[in-house]
Homo-oligomer: A and B are copies of this chain.
Amino acid sequence: MNAEKKEQIMNAAVELFAVKGFEGTSVRELASKAGVNLAMINYYFGSKEKLFENIVECKAVNTREELEEIAKDKELDEIGKIDKMVDNYVRRLFCNRYFHRVIHHELMLNQREELQNIIVTKLFPNSNIIKGVLEDGIKKGVFKKVDIELTIASLVGTVNQVLLSKKFCNKMMSKPENYVPYDDEKFIKRVSDHIKSLMRSHILK
């Protein structure tokens, strides 16, 4: 197995799936972008759908560990943990925005049951860690008794909102149409700062 060529195909696929969707991407276009022969995709992955599953399995970097480390850090208080998790989460999503789009795209559709289950079981533990920190803070009396689940939805949803539509994002931010906000370090900080401030005022007593 040529691991390098497999990588090439997967990278091309992530970008195409993100921009055109799974159904909107043909294997010919995909092969062309990856610079490999059409038949190589089925040779390596078995089918277009198996390629998709392979991508989700591979590219879902183990983010749980990073978050768990923050959750266990005894040098941080509850709000400090939330701050650090937000920074971590925003940065990671901005970096892997193509992959994240693919995931989000797939979650929206009710196709490919199998794939949905893989995604949910990979994503769920992450939000569970944040949930734990919120619960701790409430128990200790440093956080208000907020709606924990929806607080997480606000956190995740805010990032998604700016991440998922460049056009709408630029219009809202009064940036030119061709501006790419996702590589702009200042913009990442702006989003991070906003969410942290939003969370602080919402949960801090």
A residues with CB within 8 A of B: 19-24, 101, 104-105, 107-111, 116, 120, 123-124, 127, 146-147, 149-154, 156-162, 164-168, 171-174, 190-191, 193-195, 197-198, 201-202
> Cβ of B153 and Cβ of A158 under 8 Å apart?
yes
Report, nearest first, the 8 A-B pairs whose CB atoms are least far apart: A157-B161, A157-B157, A23-B23, A150-B194, A23-B24, A107-B165, A153-B161, A154-B158
Determine how close the nearest CB of chain B comes to the CB of A110; give it in whole angstroms. Answer: 5
Interface centre among A162, A171, A198 (most CB of B within 10 A): A198
A156 — nearest CB in chain B belongs to which residue? B161
Q: Which residues of B contact A160 (CB under 8 A)?
A: 157, 160-161
> Cβ of B154 and Cβ of A198 under 8 Å apart?
yes
Determine how close the nearest CB of chain B comes to the CB of A164; give it in whole angstroms. Answer: 5
Chief secondary structure at chain A's binding surface: helix
21 contacts across the A-B interface (CB closer than 8 A): A20-B23, A21-B24, A21-B109, A22-B24, A105-B105, A120-B171, A123-B168, A124-B168, A124-B172, A127-B172, A147-B197, A149-B173, A149-B174, A150-B162, A150-B191, A154-B161, A154-B195, A154-B198, A157-B159, A157-B161, A158-B158
Contact among B108, B146, B158, B173 with A105 in the assembled complex (CB-CB below 8 Å): B108
> Cβ of B153 and Cβ of A172 under 8 Å apart?
yes
